[in-house]
A and B are shown apart, each in its own frame.
Chain A
């Protein structure tokens, strides 16, 4: 599948749930499925990031960056600060490990 086709299909599967929800104001989803939808980001984000850190050849350096990023995010709640601080820690670990 070409990148263009993937992007257009991504558009479709993003637009439809947004539009569908706006049209279903009268509908009451069962509690279980409401909870399922709320837990999707909590579940998908780690599934994306953990293999990318621990499965990498430079995993110790990436892990260092992530630990610092989490500490900064918990303290400041600033997305940009977390990314930049984590990136700096990753680089420090990378330089120190040669």
Chain B
């Protein structure tokens, strides 16, 4: 089996090597820039642009991520780690041996470790927290939980907030459980809520890692976030008041039980660790060229502490399973590696297209692709394109900082769209599938992939997003 994989990898590399040379003979290739930090000085290294065919592993991986869990669930469940690693290795080997560009690989590895350290630490820390609410569900109580979830999503991530609140949310609605309750939870807590900070949603965190200021998102998105959240919870309220549920004689104590306080401290450490970055605090040592910095060391330590010390009873109550984070870790190895050529080519092409691209175009294209692909890589691709429009390079932190100041509307449109449209499908954002899985483990049948889209996303979210577009980007 291993021998076959090696032969396959070698053949693919040979194919790309030959086609790269042919293309290079016919057209003058552009160049990609990568920022390298040496002795605390930033140096831009220029490399040959990749062969356009090298986008194929990325496209194949995204298509498989979108279709695997739905159309060939059990095959995907067993083989996704191998598929992701093999596709990622093809791109990595191409960069290493054919383009001789190790800088892009190192840069990407550092970004991957930052990304996975944050997600894993939030996942393990929030998995050891239990909230039990013994109250009778009312539309007002549900709205309050959703609003609370939207706010804390910005502090503990949409993943953390979803894991923390989905169980109490379905528990209090036990006698009036309907799929729309979970769908609105996915809309608000698992997606739209987390648009205000880089911790909120993975795409924004990737932007932060590229150099966007932590508070930029709050400063420039709150006035879009607030009316959207108010509108969607109002829609929810009017649907929810029609749900009378089953008549029950059950008595409620009104008690709210909370367990796992030490994990709250872990969450606080994770949050503070986000700022432990040489670019934010000058005293933080730069461990370059190591792809793991002090921030990641702290966050990975939290993972270890959470595994060792989380209350077993709480983990059992939460039916804690490492599979969701294992899946994210493996899939994103492939995504991060295979998207390097896509990012560089998009940036280059957008640079050529220039003024033809408007903020509205970025809003819709980022959004629609974020809905059907994972929103994190989509965000980076369109950020790369928007920066390319101004001749700036996403791989340069100085360029990202310049872009952040230069034209707020483009970065805002991409950020809002990536986060908001992540709610369009189960695969738009990581927590969507996790929530679906938790709810199904409780025995609740959720709408199919397409039913979710045509019953909920199209009639509720699309009109809302058109409104956002008309007001802010038309």
Chains A and B are bound partners? no
